[in-house]
Amino acid sequence: MTDTNAPAAHVARPPYRADHVGSLLRPKTVKDARKRYFDEKSIAAEELRAAEDEAIIAAVKAQQDVGMPVVTDGEIRRTYWHYDFLDQMIGIDLEHREKEAIQFHGIALKPEFLTINEKVDFPDDHPMLEHYKFVAGVTNVMPKIAIPGPSCAHFRTDPEDIRHAPYKDLEVLFADLAKAYEKAVNAFYAAGCRYLQIDDIFFAYLCDPKHRAAKAALGQDPDWLIEQYAWMMNEAIKSRPSDMVIGMHMCRGNFQSHHAAEGAYDLCADAIFNKTDVDIYFMEYDTERAGGLEALRLLPKGKKRVMPGFITTKTGDLEDLDDLKRKFEAVSKIADLDQFGIAPQCGFSSTEEGNKVTEDDQKRKLELVVKTAEAIWGGVEG
């Protein structure tokens, strides 16, 4: 049976030379509709959905208009890049409670916390399967959806909030997360998805001395966690069909233009490049917080591709094309330039609040991604 949500045969297949992480600024119409629905409870779910649908159609057109070969729904239906997906899995819940919230540099998230209350599984009716189908139905290029990686369910859950007794043994938790994510990968494929991005950002967090110390204080060896996170990712994707491409985004936090971690990729580079069967790596490289390019030496020769995030989404300042060319010249001295493309460092709106940039800033950044790909590789595909 042919899935009508699978990309058409004429659509260019990933990897691309120009791509982006996924989230886009929420338009005022969506923010207003979400306030009326969630806070004021003055409109029905259908009215919220209609506002989201309209905004996603416009976002897809905007991505196509600047020449992107791949589009997302901008994560416009979500509050968070990660919690929405996890809260809709079996066994994981999101609780709002008055407690010190997760801290970013100079700002804190809302006081909402993951809890694991029973055996983890991926439901057959997970809402984001329909989210993918919608965006696939309104584009003539490659549709992509991003979901949080399996490590998020552990990294962002306090040990006291892991209430399912068998999961006090983390290897049991990791095994069940791997199985649940393998089921998710297969479910997205069945829904027509051929390009799935898994945002497993906590590899980068575990390169930060502060976060490493925090995990060590809980009795968790950060280097062991890196290996376990790579194992989970690989278990989840290793049996995917051959025509499904997997991307992985890694960053150091992105909430209203604030970050939560810093440190070079060196401590996790071997695990991410050589112990996961990921095809495309989206790596934050917009500030000195990301360290140098040395970790790219561990990229194995072959078909794997890295999309260095030299273009920031945290400010509206537009990078210089000649400077970007010089950065890629430096990359070429470390690894084969043919294994690279360009993408922004992160999404523009990892939460519904969005970064401190404008919609015009966002457009100009995406245009620069396309221009850079054209200048260095002669186009956005290939």
Residue-wise pLDDT for 228-266, tens only, equals 999 999 999 999 999 999 999 998 866 655 656 788 899
Of 132, 92, 134, residue with least CA distance to 114: 92
What's the half-sphere exposure (Cβ side, CA atoms, 13 Å) at 318? 16
State the Cα–Cα distance between residues 281 and 340, nearest whole angstrom.
9
Q: Give per-residue pLDDT as tens, 184-205.
A: 999 999 999 999 999 999 999 9
pLDDT at 110 over 80: no
- Which pLDDT score, from 0 to 100, does residue 96 have? 84
> Tell me: the pLDDT tens digits for 332-370?
999 999 999 999 999 999 888 988 999 999 999 999 999
Q: Where along the chain do its domains lie?
A: 28-377
For residue 15, whether the previous peptide bond is cis, meaning omega lies within 30 degrees of 0, is yes
What is the pLDDT, as a whole number, of residue 289?
A: 80
pTM for the structure as a whole: 0.94
CATH of 28-377, one of 3.20.20.210, 3.40.50.1820, 3.40.50.2020, 3.40.50.10470: 3.20.20.210
User: Residue 93: beta bridge partners?
Assistant: 115
Determine phi and psi for 195, rounding to 5 degrees: -140, 105
> For 301, which DSSP code?
S
Task: Report d(CA 92, CA 325) in Å as an integer.
Answer: 44
pLDDT in tens, 29-84: 999 999 999 999 999 999 999 999 999 999 999 999 999 999 999 999 999 989 99
The DSSP symbol for 108 reads: E
Contact by Cβ (8 Å): 88, 128: yes
- What is the model's pLDDT at position 262? 84
Report pLDDT for 1.
Answer: 36
